[in-house]
Structure 1
Amino acid sequence: MSKPFLSLSLDMDNQWSYMKIHGEEGWKEYPSYLDIFVPHVLQVLDELKLKITFFIVGQDAAFERNHKYLKNIADAGHDIANHSFKHETWLHLYTKDEMRQEIDKAHDIIKEVTGKEPIGFRGPGFSWSATLLEVLAEKGYAYDASTLPTVIGPLARLYYFHTSNLSKKEREDRKEIFGKFSDGFRKLKPYFWKLKHDKKLLELPVTTMPFFRIPFHLSYLLYISTISTHLMMLYLNFAILLCKLTRTQPSFLLHPLDLIGGDQISSLAFFPGMNISSDRKVFIFKKVMNRLAKHYTLVDMNTHVAAILNKNSLKSVIINGSFS
């Protein structure tokens, strides 16, 4: 009997986007670590024989200096998806015209640079809205992956505000980053949004622990590993058990700083977890992937989506409500 799917994706947030989110000066010069990170992550993924989805920011694709590295990702056989153009966590505030321009601009430049046309989207900071979903459906996207069904969003936001250098206006723009407590009660399994004009769009939430709705993607596992690797594995094993009991096929999220440390990117030493060495992060990543691979077939998002659509294996109810 074949193992169920688990899809792997990496939000390709660059150095400038981390600086922008945290209100650090100098982000408008668009400093980049893609020349360091891309060869690093491609080597690690190749060692594990993994193909994943990279959610690419359009602004990075617009700079010629990044073209080689982004093309290398596609040429290595990885899936490519859209992570917006400007990487603004207040994307949910955009008008429909602004949203359409944002999606189109990112889509076109990502396709031009990588040679692959995105069919999926994830909002920066898990930002999404009915307007976003409508624009994606009208554009013919196969799926959205912007929701994070967790109850700890407000706590994460408080920590984010405490550790960042944001103006009052910037805090207002970001006041819904990481979502509301009520978001923790959204569907964990893939489901369809039912939109205007009888359009539908598949949603693949970033998986959190069933019942408890707390995250277990790699950033959280790395944090727990600083306390105890054994505790981290217990946490991961419990999350896997609950996913299997509920027949949840996970969507597992990665970020660049999950795989590379301050020893290689010293300019982001202020960021949480950057005191962990790159070697240690890669060790943890491989340990986690090996454990997940015992229970799941590890695939990219496109493969996961195709299986859901082609086999009609969707179990969740169609969402109605204010979007219909």
Structure 2
Amino acid sequence: MGKRAASLSLDLDNKWSYMKNNGSDNWNEFQSYLDIFVPYVLELLKELDLKLTFFVVGQDAEFEKNHKYLKMIADEGHEIGNHSFKHETFLHLYTKEELQVEIEKAHTAIKKVTGRDCKGFRGPGFTWSQELFEVLEEKGYCYDSSTFPTIIGPLARMYYFKTSKLTDEQKKERKELFGKLSDGFMKLRPYFWTLKNNRRLYEVPVTTMPLFRLPIHMTYLVYLSAISEQLAFFYLKCAIYLCKLTRTSPHFLIHPTDLLGGDMVSGMEFFPGMQIAGHKKAAFFKKVIGIFSRHFTLVSMDGFVNGILKTNKKEVNINSKPIL
């Protein structure tokens, strides 16, 4: 029997979006590190022979200075996904009409630059709503990947608020950032949301450790590596063992800050892990991917979704209330 598939994605959050979510006053100057990060990560992915899904923020596609770099991603054969237009981490507060504008505006801007129609979506900060899923299905999207089944979302949010410059009003808007405690009990394996009139949308959760529901995305591994690389690798191997034990095909999430070091980008000192040099993060990432590749076949999200819908239909859980 061959190896199960594991899907990979990268949320292409730009420097301005991190500044915005940290409460920085000058975030709307739209500072960018795409000119540094995109060539860097594409070379790294080519070295590792990896194809993954880049979730692009529509606002970045509006600026001509970014066009070259966004097109490079598509030209290298990576899937392009929609990560909203304004990258606001409270999409659950949007009306359906506001969501329609947000999704369409991002979709149009991204397609104009990359030449690609987005078929997948991820909400910033793992925020989602039933109205969002309806908008995506009506737009013809194949899948969503906004759910994050972890029990530590509220703790992560508390820490984030404590270290940010957000006002009380901004914190109130972001009260579901990183998810609610109840999100920790949602299903880990892919399933269908059942929408109005028996329509459906496929959901690919960002995988957390089976049973314990702790994060296993790259940002959390980088955090652990700052304490001890041995601890990070032990933690990852435990997560992989539990994924295989429970027949969970993991979806592994990456962010630019997982690969960029403070020696490569200035003004990001507020974000955890930026004290680690870029070359050390790259070496750590290669080791993480090496461990994953020994146990799984690594694919982009569109490759995973197309494959599982065609060959593993029996593993798709059709459920409008994905609670264990």
Give the TM-score range, shorter chain: over 0.9
Q: Please report the TM-score for the alignment, with normalisation by the length of structure 1.
A: 0.98
Other structure's SS at 1:28 match = helix
User: 1:134, 1:65 → 2: CA distance?
Assistant: 33
Deviation at 1:316, TM superposition (A): 4.8
Structure-2 residue corresponding to 1:60:
60
Structure-2 residue corresponding to 1:109:
109
Other structure's SS at 1:248 match = coil
User: 1:8, 1:312 → 2: CA distance?
Assistant: 19
> In the TM superposition, what whole-angstrom CA distance separates every residue of 1:157-211 from its partner, at most 9, and x where no partner exists?
1001001001111011001111111110000000000000111000000000000
Of stretches 191-200 and 223-232 in structure 1, the one that deviates more from structure 2 is 223-232
Deviation at 1:230, TM superposition (A): 1.1
* Number of residues of Structure 1 aligned to a counterpart in Structure 2: 322
Other structure's SS at 2:80 match = strand
Asked if structure 2 preserves the Cα contact closer than 8 Å seen for 1:23 and 1:165, the reply is yes
Structure-2 residue corresponding to 1:256:
256
User: 1:284, 1:266 → 2: CA distance?
Assistant: 21
> In the TM superposition, what whole-angstrom CA distance separates every residue of 1:129-154 from its partner, at most 9, and x where no partner exists?
00000000111100000000000000
Asked if structure 1 preserves the Cα contact closer than 8 Å seen for 2:190 and 2:317, the reply is no
> In the TM superposition, what whole-angstrom CA distance separates every residue of 1:93-140 from its partner, at most 9, and x where no partner exists?
101110000000001111110011100000000010000000001111
**Does structure 1 residue 223 correspond to structure 2 residue 227?**
no
User: 1:172, 1:178 → 2: CA distance?
Assistant: 14
Asked if structure 1 preserves the Cα contact closer than 8 Å seen for 2:51 and 2:78, the reply is yes
Other structure's SS at 1:268 match = coil
> In the TM superposition, what whole-angstrom CA distance separates every residue of 1:18-62 from its partner, at most 9, and x where no partner exists?
000010121011010000100110111011010110000000001
Identity of aligned residues (%): 60
Other structure's SS at 1:5 match = strand
Q: Which runs of 5+ in 1 are unaligned?
A: none
Deviation at 1:226, TM superposition (A): 1.2
For 1:221-300, what aligned pairs fall within 5 Å after superposition?
Answer: 221-300=221-300
Other structure's SS at 1:51 match = coil
Structure-2 residue corresponding to 1:317:
317
Q: Please report the TM-score for the alignment, with normalisation by the length of structure 2.
A: 0.98
For 1:155-234, what aligned pairs fall within 5 Å after superposition?
Answer: 155-234=155-234
Other structure's SS at 1:267 match = coil
Q: Which amino acid aligns with 1:84?
A: S
User: 2:130, 2:119 → 1: CA distance?
Assistant: 18
Other structure's SS at 2:247 match = coil
User: 1:109, 1:266 → 2: CA distance?
Assistant: 28
User: 2:227, 2:94 → 1: CA distance?
Assistant: 40
Other structure's SS at 1:249 match = coil
Asked if structure 2 preserves the Cα contact closer than 8 Å seen for 1:190 and 1:314, the reply is no
Asked if structure 1 preserves the Cα contact closer than 8 Å seen for 2:15 and 2:33, the reply is yes
Q: CA RMSD in A?
A: 1.1
Other structure's SS at 2:19 match = helix
Structure-2 residue corresponding to 1:98:
98
Q: Which runs of 5+ in 2 are unaligned?
A: none
User: 2:114, 2:104 → 1: CA distance?
Assistant: 15
Other structure's SS at 1:116 match = coil
Other structure's SS at 1:298 match = strand
User: 2:112, 2:279 → 1: CA distance?
Assistant: 34
Other structure's SS at 2:318 match = coil
Deviation at 1:251, TM superposition (A): 0.5
Asked if structure 2 preserves the Cα contact closer than 8 Å seen for 1:10 and 1:256, the reply is yes
Structure-2 residue corresponding to 1:146:
146
Asked if structure 2 preserves the Cα contact closer than 8 Å seen for 1:191 and 1:314, the reply is no
Deviation at 1:310, TM superposition (A): 1.3
